[in-house]
Amino acid sequence: MHILRIYLAFGIILCLFICTYAWQSRIRGSKFFAFSCLLAVFWILAELVKRVFPDYSLEFIAENIRFIAVILMPPSLFVFTLQYCRKELTLKKIFLIFLIPIISIIVFLTSPFHLLFYKSTYISQDGLLRLEYGYYYWFVHLPFSYLLISGCLAVLYISIRKVVERDRRQLIILFFSIWIPFISNVLATFNIIGGLPLTVLSFPIFFSIIAFSIFRYDFLQSSPIAYEKVFHSIHDGVVVVDNANVILDVNPAAAKTLGKSKDEIVGKDFDEVFSKWKGIIEKYRSVTNFYDEVSVEIKGERKFISVTIVPILDKSHRHLGKIFIFRDITEHKHYEFFLRNLAFRDALTHIANRRKFQEDFENLIEKSKDSKKSFAIIYFDLNDFKQVNDNYGHDIGDELLKLVAARTASVLRGPDLVARFGGDEFAVLLHDCDKQGAQIVAERMIETVSEPFKLEEHELRIAISLGIAVYPHDGTSLPELLRKADRMLIAEKKRRKSRVAKSKNQNE
């Protein structure tokens, strides 16, 4: 899932790059080509939002934006194809091409009232908002969209047979590249291959092919000024390397990432410039298409960098070099670590949860196999905690759980761990500890928890019942040790109830 999000984000950057490049071009059809790129950006962005922010309202807005792009993409590509193939188009003809898509947008936005475009929304198995399509979608929108894409292919095929050799290469590339999103959309629409967003996944590939045509064949014949502006303003670092391993060009973002000036990089050997990034050097030698995330030190600061490698090929498919694209994902990684930390914390007490306890337990198992040292688990809960909730309310009960967790943590050593399993159930993981050591810790826990708690105007006393299990004497897996400790805990509760019952009988 994480790689898919990175891929979608990269696709957005790529489409924006192509959009900017095409918009400044003076070639025929460039404006509608740029508009198609922009629609792809919104399409991919909507898919990314749905996967990053699982909120129904936000997903519904994203789905609306996505479908507007879905509706407008085919006519936009069709107009671009006609203009590029030198077909004369008046404003009236362009309006007629867009007439049905405009009607489709209106029908789509008003569909909740008549259910023509879509009947309802639902959450699919992958947790994403989906639409159940109506009659208008199947019998008007989809056939018309596929008709326009088929029209693109027909126009290109006819033009390929008529144009000179130089233009024919460009048209052939465009002809075959259009098949990529077309086939992907057919597979996705009819759910032929799982539930993957194939159309969205195809856009970076589609526009990468067009981008390659731009650089290799001057496909859009954009001005050098436009290229220089995009190359130097893009936030991702770009390094161009030839087959001799010499750096041919570098943009300011890459120079900044490396902490060097352009003069210190261009013309130098790649291994020399990236000498501190040995991991990248070793990995890139034998690959032409590559993506990875690496941790490197830049100016004394640890950074996380994503690395994408794209081959440079000539018209005979001979390898000319490689393009390295670097992106600083440090902030994203820090946020990812933050989310991981949240996933391992109990929301109420802010101590570890069962998932964190299990992970630490598995790590400790591996260490103990090498060191042959034992460790212990203490499983405990609060006696008569239900009465606290019944008599004082759940807010007081929650505060009591927080304080019990804090007091328990205060008697543990640095590497030891206390976790809340749920309700009033807790577990303690004691490193390098035998049965005797665990009993000493248990006595400290009982003593510290038995001290009165002051909560608002109440002074509460609570006791705990606990059980101890030692690895490997009592078991070699977490379920075994927990069962052992739980049986000991239950036995302790029974003895306590028996003592209370005898005390009552004696008083009577």
The per-residue pLDDT for range 276-294, each reduced to its tens digit, is 776 666 666 666 677 777 7
- The helix/strand/coil state of 100 is helix
The predicted structure's pLDDT at residue 134:
93
Q: Are residues 326 and 355 in the same domain?
A: no
Torsion from C-alpha of 103, 104, 109, 113, nearest 10 degrees: 90
Domain residues for the domain of 59 are 2-231
Q: Are residues 10 and 31 in the same domain?
A: yes
The predicted structure's pLDDT at residue 280:
64
Do the strands 352-353 and 453-455 form a parallel or antiparallel pair, or are they unpaired? unpaired
C-alpha dihedral sign at 398, 402, 408, 413: positive
**Closest Cα partner for 253 from 270, 271, 244, 265?**
265
Helix (H) or strand (E) holding 106: helix 91-109
CATH of the domain at 151: 1.20.1070.10
Cβ–Cβ contacts within 10 Å for residue 16, how many? 16
The predicted structure's pLDDT at residue 225:
36
The predicted structure's pLDDT at residue 25:
67
What is the total count of domains within the chain? 3
Residue with tokens 């195809």: 202
Q: Are residues 274 and 211 in the same domain?
A: no
The rounded distance, in Å, linking the Cα atoms of 474 and 468 is 9
Q: Are residues 293 and 365 in the same domain?
A: no
The rounded distance, in Å, linking the Cα atoms of 417 and 413 is 8
Q: Are residues 69 and 30 in the same domain?
A: yes
Which residue, of 282, 301, 334, is where some domain finishes? 334
**339 occurs within a structural domain:** no
CATH of the domain at 263: 3.30.450.20
CATH of the domain at 493: 3.30.70.270
Q: What is the pTM of this model?
A: 0.44
Residue with tokens 């699919």: 124
The rounded distance, in Å, linking the Cα atoms of 493 and 371 is 35
The predicted structure's pLDDT at residue 172:
85
Cβ–Cβ contacts within 10 Å for residue 165, how many? 6
Q: Are residues 395 and 318 in the same domain?
A: no
Would you call 186 exposed, middle or buried from its count of C-beta atoms within 10 A (0-12, 13-18, 19+)?
middle
| H-assigned helices in 372-417 | 385-392, 394-410
Please check whether residue 456 is in contact with residue 443, taking contact to mean a CB–CB distance below 8 angstroms.
no
Low-confidence ranges of the chain (pLDDT < 70): 1, 25-28, 163-167, 194-195, 211-231, 278-288, 314-315, 497-508
Q: Are residues 305 and 451 in the same domain?
A: no
Which residue, of 231, 248, 266, is where some domain finishes? 231
- Per-residue pLDDT reduced to its tens digit, 327-374: 888 888 877 777 777 778 888 888 889 988 998 899 898 888 887 889
The predicted structure's pLDDT at residue 504:
44
Q: Are residues 418 and 320 in the same domain?
A: no
Which residue, of 334, 369, 398, is where some domain finishes? 334
Local structure of residue 264 (DSSP, 8 states): G
